[in-house]
Structure 1
Amino acid sequence: MTETRAQPGRWAPLTGLHRLTAQTGAGNPRVVVGVVDGPVDIGHPDLADAGMAASAGCRNVRSAACRHGTAVVAMLAARGESPAPGLCPGCTVLPRPVFCEAPKGGTCPALRPAELATAVVDLIEAGARIVNLSLGAEGSGLARSRAVDDAFDHAQARGVLVVVAAGNHGQVGPAPLMAHPWPVLVAACDQNGRPLPGSNLGIGIGLRGLLAPGLGIVTAAPGGGYQAFSGTSAAAPFVTGTAALLWSTAPSLPAAVVRAALLRPGLPRSSVVPPLVDGLAALRALNRLTGRPLPQGP
């Protein structure tokens, strides 16, 4: 199976990613993208050649954890002519499962902040350059966690970007668990760029976040099929994929430069609603920051 990019979906005009990939290609394997989420159906035809370890695989393809993890990873790594976005199939995608796969009728304990922090650090030590968090943890938004703060401190010190879904509680206000200044927070919008009613918003999200499509994104489902995926969990990979493609153009660049380009210096930010992610505008910002020639095209 070849590493061709997926066909642009309804989300393409909003994100500018089809124009970014025209300049960057499918990504660079030196850019390792860590994904803290559920396990993945690594046997799915769209992911079978992605080289993911068996330890990341699902034991129960009917579990909610497998469904969520497969959806997020396929948004980044799907190959061939998949209907999933397949945003950076040329990058190295490294899943780190944290959700349990409950048996039928069973329940799983909530993910604790300390477990989330451990997973982030594990991915950093494994060589991740970007960590995608399309999830929350027990107490998310209710209390700040020293463990999570320490993990984000470690990411910043090691030059690792962190992209965090803003959450789907429909709240406008602070989210203390994710109050650290380093992560890029992602709110979700519809195909017209309007924030979804369930997406969390707030001053921190408006100041250091981005808006990305999160309504009915077609992506892989366990067992070889596909599913419509919505919410900030679906929005975060668009920002992660943009960052991965930007970094693929020059993997030796510092994380702070890639993050600045992603957020686009000088962009007005005066609302609880952040600006839309824009792949081509971010590439132009990166080129301005690094003194490289600007990309051609519209």
Structure 2
Amino acid sequence: MGLLGARADAPIPGLCPGCALIHIPLFVDAVSPSARVDDLAAAIEGAVAAGARVINLSLAILGGDSQINPRLAAALEAAEASGAVLLVAAGNQGRRVTGQLLSHPAVIPVVAADAAQILLPDSNFGPEITRRGVAALGRMAGYAPDGGTTVMSGTSVAAAVATGILAQLWSERPDIDADTLRSAVAALGPRDGAKPPMLDRNRVLAELDRMVGADGEARTNDTRLQGAMTMTTGNGRSPTSAVGGLLSRSMQIVRPAGGDCGCGAPDGACSCGGHHDTLSGFVYAIGTIEADYPNIAIEREMQLIANHLSVGAEIERDGSTKLTEDRNWQHAVLSKDRKLTRYIARQLRWRLTIEDFPVFLLNPNDPGYFDDLIDALARPKYPAKAESRRGKSAAKQAIPIAEHAGLAEDLDVVVGVVGPRTPDGIVISLDQIFQVDRNQLIPDGLKYFPQIADSHGLTDEDRAYNFLFARYRPPLGEIDDYKFMGMRIVPSRLGSDTGRIVRAIYTFRNPAAGEREFFVRVDVTHEFPMIVSPWQPYLERGGRL
């Protein structure tokens, strides 16, 4: 409210101090404030009834993106019919999002950008946002609850900034209608990337002049934003129909879009201490692909298909592991007749574990990836023990859990887009799977490289680490007598205007000659990182930026 309505002579002037403000409480003060979607619908209805023309929603609906709430649909339709414009925060989970609220034609989605007009790493994104939304400043000074000032960050802030800009602009052009204003915003460009265009007052005014003219007369070639008045389900039916009436709403809740933290912790309670401010929305992770069963019925079906294919007795396996959970047995069943077993492969819960921690649920974008997932089970998770045990070949033995702790062979790389966080792990929309050799992670005996790559691969820093270890072999000929000491990732000045570019700085030490450092630049703006400068000596210039 202070960001919007503070007086012009206040320490931090409001964006639209001359506008009348209506405050409809939705959340209460709490560690993890939330509300029902029906409460949100009632709040929108109340704002429309009070005559609001611009409605700020610095919040996000958490739950199934495909779920439709009939009351919210009716409230949004009423808002559009009344001539109101709604600005909605995209959310701060750093992932691709869709959903009922962001896709409604009455709504302008808002993402958060920094002063260099670069998308904040934890800002959500998506096709509807790119097509119709805008970006606004998402980190700026504002008022604290105790009457002081603070620095606010996130898409909630960006939504309020966009609301203030459009409210002030609309007050100058009161004769235009909501459809015209939304059309002028949608005409901004470019719209060919993850970030929609920055909301700029002068550009919107220029577009309005092109469409309507300063005299209020419509141009003959006016292009207007079109959209159905009624929300539909994915099958094209109204949510009030028989199908729509069955859509579950129990998992959907509304939460403030958040501030500095985008960790996505359950119930909105931050568990990262605010250190996830570089979440990229993508993942580049090194781990071990494993398969388990979402329920007992799928496990029993796996046993039935194994009996049908006569798979079981001949499989060498670790005696401490249940048959249906043994990787050798799973691979033998699934690979015996892939055409026959494809249906059961789709039913399994495919995971990526990192150092034995189950982190990701893999959702393949291509059916062909199931063959890659099945093949990943053929490799032993742990290295074979050197000596034989009970007369068996060493190559066929697995080390018991008590002996192999921390020795998992992380030989699978997954690349994709981060999806929702579930009790079973973070869902990854999978775009690439490939294998890496352990020796590839330890070039020329640099034995600490796997420890450096020990990460979830969600942040820009960790994605750069994992990309380098999976795809890049440093030219080490210049430092034969030096010992590798470590590597750090720091932002590059070159990325301030063109994207997110980081420097990977390798440190080597020779007891007699001291330290030498080399670096490469890595562009981590997009899903697939790339090297943008060659290996070269690093010169410290007085700062880590």
| Secondary structure, aligned partner of 1:223 | coil
Q: Which of the numbers 49, 54, 64 marks the counterpart of 1:125?
A: 49
Q: Which residue of 1 aligns with 2:144?
A: 221
Q: Are the equivalent residues in 2 in contact too, given 1:187–1:210 (CA < 8 A)?
A: yes
Q: Which amino acid aligns with 1:154?
A: A
Structure 2, gaps ≥5 residues long: 216-545
TM-score scaled by structure 2?
0.38
Describe the superposition over 1:241-286 as per-residue Cα deviations: whole angstroms up to 9, x where unpaired.
Answer: 12112211232321111222233x2633222321111111111111
- 2:210 pairs with 1:288: yes
- Tell me whether 1:99 sits opposite 2:22 in the alignment: no
Q: 2:124 aligns with which of 177, 200, 209?
A: 200
The aligned counterpart of 1:162 is 86
CA distance in 1, matches of 2:113, 2:166: 19
Q: Of the two, which has the highest radius of gyration? A: 2
2:190 maps to 268
Whether the 8 Å contact between 1:143 and 1:176 is mirrored in structure 2 is yes
SS in 1 for 2:141: strand
Alignment of 1:17-28 (within 5 A): none
The aligned counterpart of 2:18 is 90
Instruction: Kindly state the Cα deviation for residue 142 of structure 1 after the two structures are TM-superposed.
Output: 6.0
Match of 1:143 in 2: 67
Partner residue in 2 for 1:209: 133
1:141-194 deviation digits (Å, cap 9, x = unpaired): 463322222211111111000000000011024234432232000000111111
Judge conservation of contact 1:242–1:262 (CA < 8 Å) in 2.
no
Task: Say yes or no: does 1:251 pair with 2:166.
Answer: no
Give 1:35's aligned residue. none
Give the corresponding residue for 1:182: 106
Q: Equivalences for 1:45-60 in 2 at 5 Å?
A: none
Which structure is richer in relative contact order (CA contacts within 8 A, separation 6 or more)?
1
Aligned CA distance change for structure 1 residues 116 and 78 (closer, same or farther; 3 Å): same
Q: Does structure 2 conserve the Cα–Cα contact (< 8 Å) formed by 1:74 and 1:86?
A: yes
1:123 counterpart SS class:
helix
Q: Distance in 2 between matches of 1:162 and 1:218?
A: 23
Residue 155 of structure 2 is aligned to residue 232 of structure 1: yes
Match of 1:120, as an amino acid?
Answer: I
- Distance change (3 Å), C-alpha of 1:232 and 1:126: same
- Following superposition, the deviation at residue 227 of structure 1 comes to 1.1
2:169 alignment partner, SS class = helix
Where 2:34 maps in the other structure, the secondary structure is coil
- Seen in structure 2, the aligned counterparts of structure 1 residues 171 and 142 have a Cα distance that, compared at 3 Å, is farther
Q: Counterpart of 2:161 in 1: which secondary structure?
A: helix
Q: Structure 1, residues 91-113: CA drift from partner, whole Å, max 9, x if none?
A: 111111111124xxxx5662111
Counterpart secondary structure, 1:95: coil
| RMSD, matched Cα | 2.1
Q: Percent identity?
A: 39
Distance in 2 (alpha carbons) for counterparts of 1:200 and 1:275: 15
Q: CA deviation at 1:77?
A: 0.4
Against the structure 1 CA distance between its residues 152 and 176, is the aligned structure 2 distance closer, same or farther, given a 3 Å change threshold? Answer: closer
CA distance in 1, matches of 2:95, 2:13: 28
* Structure 1 ranges of 4+ moved more than 3 A: none
TM normalised by structure 1 equals: 0.67
Q: 92-101 or 251-260: which moved more?
A: 251-260
Instruction: Establish whether residue 81 from structure 1 lines up as the match of residue 3 from structure 2.
Output: no
| Aligned-residue offset at 1:222 | 2.1
Matches within 5 A, 1:24-35: none
Per-residue CA distance 1:59-89 (angstroms, 9 max, x = gap)? xxxxxxxxxxxxxx11110114334351000
How far does residue 140 in structure 1 lie from its aligned partner after superposition?
Answer: 6.8
**Equivalents in 2 of 1:250, 1:191: separation in Å?**
28
Aligned residues: 216
**Amino acid aligned to 1:174:** T
Runs of 5+ unmatched residues, structure 1: 1-72, 294-298
Q: Whose strand fraction is larger, Structure 1's or Structure 2's?
A: 2
